[in-house]
Amino acid sequence: PNRKTALVYYDECTVRYSNSSFFSEWEQEPVLELLNTGNVSQPERFMQLLGNTMNEIATRAAKGDQLGKKYATQEVNFTAFQTLYTLAQCTPDLSVSDCQTCLTTAITYLPNCCLGKQGGRVVFASCNVRYELYPFYRFTAQQLPPPPPPKPVHSPPALESKGKNKNSSTTIIAIALPVVVSVVIFAGALICILTRKSKKYDAVEQENGNEITTMESLQFDFSTIEAATNKFSVDNKLGEGGFGPVYKGKLPNGQQIAVKRLAVSSSQGLEEYKNEVALLAKLQHRNLVRLLGFCLEGAEKLLVYEFVPNKSLNYFLFDLEKQGELTWTKRCMIIGGIARGILYLHEDSRLKIIHRDLKISNILLDKDMNPKISDFGMARILGVDQSKAKTSRVVGTYGYMPPEYAMHGHFSIKSDVYSFGVIILEIITGKKSSNFQQSDEDEDLLTHVWKHWNNGTPLELLDPSLGNSYSRIEVIRCIHIGLLCVQEDPSQRPTMENIVLMLNSYTVTLVAPQRPATFLIPTTDSNFTANELVSDQSGPSKSTPWSVNQVSISDMDPR
C-alpha cells in the first residue's frame, strides 16, 4: 500500500521509477490499451493471422538477441495490398520464461480491445505488444555483438628469495627480452596490415555531403567473388544491364549471391557505383534489394547482392509464354510491394531518397514473387526540409521520366510517383511504355490508356493473358491511381503515402485524373536513356523531348 511508482509510455521508449525494486520480475499493472479505429476486412482471418504472428515473435523476443535485447518484429502479408506489421518487447532484465509469460498475457488482451481493428497496442509495466497495417518501427540492420574482453595477461611469479638477486635479474631478462621482441614484431606487423587495409578501403568512398567515409565491413576480396562465380563463367551469367553483366555465385558459407560487374563500355561509372554502395548500405526494407557488399580492386568494380531467384518483372510481364504466371492477385501484390518500397525511400527511411530510375526491369522478384526495387546508381538524397532539386545531367529511361525532369532537370518525390504510375499501367496492360504500338496511330501507352479511360472502356486495356480471372473494381481502381500518378502537373500527383492508402482502402475517394503527360521520343531504341541524349542543359542537344500537352486541356470534345 505504501508503494509509489510511475510509468511514462512513448512509441519509442518507456520511463519508469518506483520506491521499491521492480527488476527481474514481470509486472502487469498498470495496463494500457490503445487501438486504431479503422476496421479490417475479413476480421476472423485477420485475427487468426495476428495471433499466430504475435505468438511467434513473442518466443523470439523472449530469447533475446546477441546484445541481450528482448525485442522482435515481423511483417506478413494480409492481402495483396496490405502488410501486417507486428512488434513484441520486454524489459531486458526479465528471464526468458517471465518475458514469454508477460507477452503471452498481453497478446490475450488483443481480441478484447482490438477485435477487427487495423491496429492495436497492449502495454504492461514489463512488456508490450503492438500491430498496425503500416510500418511503425524502423528497419535497422542488427548490430554485431561487442568483441569479447581481452584475455588477462598473467605476470611472471614473484621472486621470493632476496639471496638470489643475480639469478632473479637473469630470469627477468630472459622473460622480458622475448616479450619485448614479440611486441615489436607484432606492432610492426599490425602497422603493415593496417596500412595495407587503409589503402585498400580508401578506394571506396561514401558521400556524406562532401565528406568521404569508408565501409570496411562491406568489402569483399576479389578472389572470394571470383571463386564464388566460378571465375565469372558463362554458365553463371544471369543477364546484363546498364551497369554490366550479372552473375550468380555462392559464398563459402553456402549463401547464394548475385554479382554485378561493371563493364568497361557501361554508361555508368565510379560515381554511380559509389552512390549505390553508399545508399543501399543505409537502407533495409523487404521491398528493396539487399546489398551484401562490394569489391573495388584495380579496374574491377563489383556489387554483391542477395540472390533473387525470379529475375526481374519484365522477364515475366513482357514474355508471351510467362505472362500467364502473373495472375491478377500476384500483380496486385507486386503493385502494393513496389508502392511500400518507394514510400520507405521517400518517408520512412532515415533519408529522403529519390530513386530517379524506377522501371519494370529494376523490379526484382523473390521466390514468392514479392517485388524488390533495385539499381540505385541514379538515386539522390534530398534534405529533410527539401522538396525538390535540379540537375544539369538528366539520367534515367524514357517512358518513365516525367516532363519536368526530362526537359528542365527538376526532380522530386513526384518524379518517382510518375514512374510508379507508368509501372502500374504496364503491369495492368502487359505492354511496354517504350516502343508501344497498338494501332496505326502515333500514340504512346499513356495516351492509349487515357483514350480508353475517357471512352469508358478501361477494361479493354487489361492484359489478355489474365482472361476473366480478375476483379473489375480493382482493375479500374488501379488504372485510376496510375493515371493520377502520371498527370503532367507534379503538384496534382498524389504522394506515395496517399497512394498506399488508396491501394489499401476502398473508402478513400479518388479525384478525377487530368490528362497525362505524354512524349514523342525521337528514337527507336527502347533502351535509349536520357543521360545518353542530354548531358548539359546549358548547351545544345541533338534532340529535345517535348510534351504534346502544350496547353491546359479542361474540356474534352466528343468523338
Radius of gyration of the chain (CA): 29
Per residue, what are the HEC states of 329-346? HHHHHHHHHHHHHHHHHH
Reduced to 3 states (helix: H, G, I; strand: E, B; else coil), residue 175 is helix
Least Cα distance to 87 among 54, 120, 64 occurs for 54
**Among positive and negative, which fits the CA dihedral 461, 465, 471, 474?**
negative
Contacts of 426 (CB under 8 A, 6+ apart): 317, 360, 432, 433, 445
Rounded Cα distance between 295 and 221, Å, is 6
Least Cα distance to 220 among 269, 291, 172 occurs for 291
Q: Which entry of 98, 357, 444, 463 is annotated as an active-site residue?
A: 357
Reduced to 3 states (helix: H, G, I; strand: E, B; else coil), residue 212 is strand
Note if 93 is an active site residue. no
Distances (CA, A) of 523 to 193, 359, 435: 53, 18, 9
**Among positive and negative, which fits the CA dihedral 394, 400, 405, 407?**
positive
Element (DSSP H or E) covering residue 206:
strand 206-208
Rounded Cα distance between 461 and 457, Å, is 8
Least Cα distance to 88 among 78, 80, 99 occurs for 99
> Residue for cell digits 497496442?
121
Distances (CA, A) of 51 to 71, 103, 129: 17, 12, 11
Q: CA dihedral defined by 316, 318, 321, 327, rounded to 10 degrees?
A: 60
Reduced to 3 states (helix: H, G, I; strand: E, B; else coil), residue 99 is helix
Residues in the chain: 559
Least Cα distance to 505 among 331, 336, 287 occurs for 336
Least Cα distance to 316 among 446, 430, 478, 445 occurs for 430
Catalytically active residues, by annotation:
357
